[in-house]
Amino acid sequence: MSFISVIIPFYNVETYIGACLEGLYKQIAPSMPYEIILIDNNSTDTSASIASRFPQAILLSEPRQGAYAARNRGLKAAKGDIMAFTDPDCVPAEDWLTTIETTMASTDVDIVVGSHSARGAYRALTLFAAHREARNEYIFTSSDPMLYYGLCNNMVIRKSVFESSGDFEENLRGSDTRLVRKYLDSHHCDSVRYVERLSVRHKETESLRGQLHKLYVHGDNAMNVNNTGDQLGRDLNRVERNKVIWAAVEKKALGPFGIVYFFLLLLLGRVFWTAGAMSRRLKNRE
């Protein structure tokens, strides 16, 4: 029988980690066994103390700073053949583990990327979420491996992938995508899937301000990775971006005013992403 190892690195997340762990312990239990591995990455706040209140979890530490170093520490301790990754500022849906079990029952699937749900009545957040979902559906049903990416705050990977491709590179950013790209160098795109039902709430982005800040950070990160000369893949071109936007419009059945509002939101998001990218360019010139 398969075994799920849930791996969560943490560093100074006392605001969020309790909700993450409560979400994990309120799961609809899958039929297959599972374990929860927490890796303290040199926290100086009360994160480790909060984590210790959940004795069912395995609590480890990793002195090398960086989320990927911490995840690799978790991989070494994991007993499972299915590795499930999330972050301490994410709260998994109650069927997260059972969705992993159902999805990974297919031997044709080796890597799964999940979705990020929007909570509350904030229309802006639900529209941003609809755009993300449409974008992911387009990317992960395409046959272009250069579009595919990884996202360790909601991602499932068979242990056999690490055995053939190696552990995560211990960089600051982008190592989940590097792993997916390395895997796809010798495998077909069909074995990497996007599953919308595999959902977490990213608590950092449960406000419009938080969503825009995250887009700013993504712009900064993208430019930081590009400046290393490391080509992780390609972004959607203009035609593809338009297809994604109209797929989201159709999915949400937006009327004329809704479409205008949606386009203005996407423009605002692009402004924040570009601001992050420009900030990184200026820092790299100093």
pLDDT at 181 over 90: yes
Mean pLDDT, the chain, integer: 91
pLDDT given for residue 147 in this prediction: 94
pLDDT given for residue 220 in this prediction: 81
pLDDT at 70 over 90: yes
Identify which of 161, 192, 23, 206 has the alpha carbon closest to the alpha carbon of residue 8.
Answer: 23
Instruction: Tell me the angle at which helices 256-285 and 208-226 cross, rounded to the nearest 10 degrees.
Output: 40
How many domains does the chain divide into? 1
CA atoms within 13 A on the CB side of 41: 21
pLDDT given for residue 120 in this prediction: 57
Question: For residue range 105-138, what is the model confidence (pLDDT) as tens digits?
Answer: 999 999 999 999 876 557 899 999 999 999 999 9
Locate 241 and state its tokens: 């971006």
pLDDT given for residue 15 in this prediction: 94
Q: Which amino acid is at 85?
A: F
Residue 69: give its domain's CATH number: 3.90.550.10
Average of per-residue pLDDT across 163-192: 92
The Cα 162–Cα 204 span in angstroms is: 29
User: pTM here?
Assistant: 0.92
Range of the domain at 175: 4-285
Question: For residue range 199-228, what is the model confidence (pLDDT) as tens digits?
Answer: 999 988 888 898 999 899 888 877 655 444
pLDDT given for residue 229 in this prediction: 45
pLDDT given for residue 228 in this prediction: 43
User: What contacts 159, CB < 8 A, 6 or more positions away?
Assistant: 78, 80, 81, 82, 83
pLDDT given for residue 230 in this prediction: 52
